[in-house]
Structure 1
């Protein structure tokens, strides 16, 4: 298995961050012309990985839906950090902290409009990490 930890700078705002270029570069370096699986994993308790169309408003729609489902208010029992921080700990139950993507001949076999996105509502941690792993077939 080939693996790499990448840094994602999210700043202090909720984000849907496109990881597709970093995933493609990782595969280009570690799996040229190989088949297998790309596993994308977030080693944090407050973030997730989504396969979603980015741009065209979809990323903003996702954040708006998550704000509706998980409001940043004082209802959360897990209550340290910024207001509503507990919602970030619920997020991985809705958007898993991982995704596995088929790799064919060194390329992700994504659908036409699919991208690999890091989703983070936690405004308390401006730097995050994502582990990319290639498992050869």
Structure 2
């Protein structure tokens, strides 16, 4: 059993989904691991990870509209506003998402479906640089 890890630095541009599939796939290829488990972890509390359709950009726009209705900015019930009116909503959106993903590795590749991609889901209104830790264990 071997393992490898790296940290990706992902630049976001405000609320959006940033696909990181290619960056992870390129790194994974370099490890030489043919079969195992890939873990992906984001080191933040106001962004999350997801596996989502990567063919139709309308899916991403619809997700953003859904979150805007579900968790609006500036809700007067929020007390935590240290970094502005999008601060607590970003934390809530992250809590509804995932900060960790596990993806099987088969034949040296992520075993994603034909239309699946791995994304950083930025929940803040302004761009950030997000750290994503990627680790693979296998043979």
Q: What is the TM-score with the length of structure 2 in the denominator?
A: 0.89
Q: Distance in 2 between matches of 1:31 and 1:67?
A: 41
Whole-Å Cα distance in 2 between the matches of residues 78 and 135 of structure 1?
39
Distance in 2 between the 1:51 and 1:7 partners? 18
Runs of 5+ unmatched residues, structure 2: none
Q: Does 1:48 align with 2:61?
A: no
1:88 to 87, 90, 105: 90
Q: Judge conservation of contact 1:31–1:134 (CA < 8 Å) in 2.
A: no
Q: How many residues are paired up?
A: 135
2:16 maps to 15
* Per-residue deviation, 1:128: 1.1
Residue 31 (structure 1) shift: 3.0
- Please give the alpha-carbon distance, in whole angstroms, between the structure 1 residues aligned to 2:17 and 2:127: 14
How far the C-alpha of 1:61 sits from its partner, in A, is: 1.1
1:68 counterpart SS class: helix
2:80 corresponds to 1:78: yes
Say whether residues 1:4 and 2:6 are aligned partners: yes
RMSD, aligned α-carbons: 1.5
* Contact 2:86 2:125 (C-alpha < 8 Å) held by counterparts: no
Q: 2:29 is matched with which residue?
A: 28
